[in-house]
């Protein structure tokens, strides 16, 4: 897995000759009338978005023209947040390196009230292995599922810096080797301790959601559901080939109902469990939908419409590698949700 662009909007000073151009303003694309109508028809508790925002290929969909990746990484968030359908974004770079209160606050300042961030917990907490830059595990991680570290390095700075704009803290547990999974009860007990510590976030941001996304199907056991329920956390529906098909994961969500719905649509199944690089090569520059996945879209739309219809928060972010162009995927999903929500209102 390749890290998000390492640019940091909270930095000051000039280290490079092109620093000034990287901070140049980024303009938002003018939305068409159909897009604006769709946005106002969506359920109030629904927030859609993408995984990060630094993609030049979104020109004329999200940006008013072509910008460099560096410009978008440093200065594109405010334009991103002006897209009518984007009420959230997944701040994936926090997975690769913990962020400070000041860095989170700098992001929060760039978006309007009502916008929400989904923030991934750092790999230092959620990966059982310390990995090389290519992703190969080299040794055990002594900080894996450390509750104190999760609070001080992640939840505390995120909740303080983002404040009311924090939507969800997402613990994406990286794929675990068999020797670690062998003692699932011990793993779930450690995760439960982490999640209970996260209850402190509610004192700062009452609406914040804590969600767990996993990449090994062995997690999907009754004890895992019990740990989520007891700690007030929820299950993040992670749409990734390493996991069962979306419909086969829904029983977990049903056991947590009623409650929020958090979904991260990550990777098209045709590329397989290790297909991020293949998807990147197939879909770049992410300017069009290449592999539509209507079956997955229908499942996600049904859960989203039903959850929002019960006045529960819904956060869904989509990766370019799901269908080829995340903004187009968001629009297609919004259409599907709006259609279901309209039918529901008509029946009532």
**CATH code of the domain covering residue 77:** 3.20.20.410
Decide which of 100 and 3 is more confident: 100
Residue 208 lies in a domain: yes
Mean pLDDT of the chain: 90
Rounded to an integer, what distance in angstroms lies between the CA atom of residue 67 and that of residue 22? 9
pLDDT range class, residue 15, cuts 50, 70, 90: very low
Statement: residue 253 has pLDDT above 70: yes
Q: Both tokens of residue 113? A: 């009230």
Domain membership of residue 39 as a residue range: 27-347
Q: Is residue 310 part of a domain?
A: yes
Over residues 296-301, the mean pLDDT reads 97
* Percent of the chain topping pLDDT 70: 90
Query: What is the total residue count of the chain?
Result: 348
Question: What confidence score (pLDDT) does residue 276 get?
Answer: 79
Residue 343 pLDDT exceeds 80: no
What sections of 205-255 are H helices per DSSP? 222-231, 246-255
Q: Is 318 left (phi over 0), alpha (psi -120 to 50) or beta?
A: beta
Q: What is the mean pLDDT of residues 187-208?
A: 96
Task: Note the pLDDT of residue 1.
Answer: 38
pTM for this structure?
0.90
Mean pLDDT of 242-260: 95
The reported pLDDT for the residue numbered 132 is 77
251 domain-assigned:
yes
Confidence of residue 16 (pLDDT cuts 50, 70, 90): very low
Under DSSP, the state recorded for 121 is P
Number of domains in the chain: 1
Residue 201 inside a domain? The answer is yes
Q: Indicate whether 166 belongs to any domain.
A: yes
Residue 291 has pLDDT above 90, yes or no: yes
Mean pLDDT value across residues 3-14: 37
- Both tokens of 123, joined, read 């790999």
């Amino acid at each position: 897995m390749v890290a998000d662009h390492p640019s940091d909007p909270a930095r000051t000073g000039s280290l490079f000759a092109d620093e000034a151009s990287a901070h140049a303003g980024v303009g938002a694309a003018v939305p068409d009338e159909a897009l604006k109508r769709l946005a106002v028809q969506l359920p109030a508790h629904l927030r859609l978005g993408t995984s990060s925002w630094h993609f030049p290929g979104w020109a004329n969909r999200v940006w008013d023209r072509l910008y460099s990746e560096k410009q978008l990484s440093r200065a594109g968030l405010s334009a991103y947040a002006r897209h009518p359908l984007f009420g959230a974004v997944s701040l994936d770079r926090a997975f690769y390196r913990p962020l400070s209160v000041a860095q989170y606050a700098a992001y929060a300042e760039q978006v309007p009230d009502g916008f929400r961030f989904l923030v991934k917990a750092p790999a230092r907490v959620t990966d059982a292995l310390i990995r090389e830059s290519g992703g190969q595990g080299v040794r055990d991680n002594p900080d894996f599922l450390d509750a104190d570290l999760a609070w001080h390095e992640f939840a505390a700075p995120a909740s303080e810096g983002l404040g009311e704009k924090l939507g969800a803290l997402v613990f994406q547990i990286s794929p675990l080797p068999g020797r670690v999974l062998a003692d699932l009860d011990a793993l779930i007990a450690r995760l439960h301790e982490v999640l209970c510590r996260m209850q402190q976030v509610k004192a700062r941001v009452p609406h914040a959601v804590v969600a767990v996304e996993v990449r090994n199907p062995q997690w999907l056991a009754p004890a895992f559901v019990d740990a989520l329920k007891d700690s007030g956390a929820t299950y993040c529906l992670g749409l990734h080939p390493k996991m069962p098909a979306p419909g086969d994961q829904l029983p977990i969500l049903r056991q947590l109902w009623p409650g929020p719905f958090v979904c991260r649509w990550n990777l098209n199944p045709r590329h397989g469990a290790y297909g991020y690089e293949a998807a990147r090569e197939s879909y770049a520059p992410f300017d069009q939908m290449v592999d539509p996945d209507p079956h997955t879209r229908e499942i996600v739309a049904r859960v989203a419409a039903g959850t929002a219809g019960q006045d529960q928060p819904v956060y869904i972010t989509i990766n370019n590698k799901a269908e080829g162009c995340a903004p187009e995927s968001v629009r297609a999903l919004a259409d599907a949700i709006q259609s279901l929500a309209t039918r529901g209102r008509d029946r009532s």
